[in-house]
């Protein structure tokens, strides 16, 4: 049986995932949807950062593509979170 190494990235993703679960249980119903969207956006941002730095190979590079990809990811996630927050605000009871 092989054991997976517990890297810092895996530990961070597990911590963020546990915070989503804890946040969904502790928040009132009206704040649950926007908070979960923010937590999901944080996890997606961390995963996108890992993809950009490690899988695309830009960790040791000083390429302008590195910040451009991160800005693109942040913009897309910001629009998604804003949409969920607006819908939750408009349709709040």
Give the pLDDT confidence of 14-64 residue by residue, as tens digits: 887 887 777 778 877 767 777 777 878 888 888 888 888 877 888 888 889
Residue 3 lies in a domain: no
Residue 52 lies in a domain: yes
User: Domain range for residue 83?
Assistant: 28-90
pTM: 0.66
Distance CA 88, CA 66 (A): 33
| Tokens encoding 44 | 């997606």
CB atoms within 10 A of CB 52: 20
Report helix, strand or coil for 21. helix
Q: How sure is the predictor about 76, in pLDDT bands with cuts at 50, 70 and 90?
A: very high
Residue 9 lies in a domain: no
Q: Report the pLDDT value the prediction gives residue 71, as an integer from 0 to 100.
A: 93
Q: Report the pLDDT value the prediction gives residue 16, as an integer from 0 to 100.
A: 76
């Amino acid at each position: 049986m092989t054991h997976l190494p517990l890297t810092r990235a895996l530990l961070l993703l597990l911590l963020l995932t546990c915070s989503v679960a804890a946040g969904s249980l502790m928040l009132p119903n009206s704040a649950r949807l926007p908070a979960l969207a923010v937590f999901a956006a944080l996890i997606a941002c961390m995963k996108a950062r890992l993809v950009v730095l490690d899988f695309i190979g830009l960790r040791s590079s000083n390429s302008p593509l590195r910040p451009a990809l991160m800005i693109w990811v942040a913009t897309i996630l910001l629009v998604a979170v804003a949409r969920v927050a607006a819908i939750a605000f408009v349709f709040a009871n």
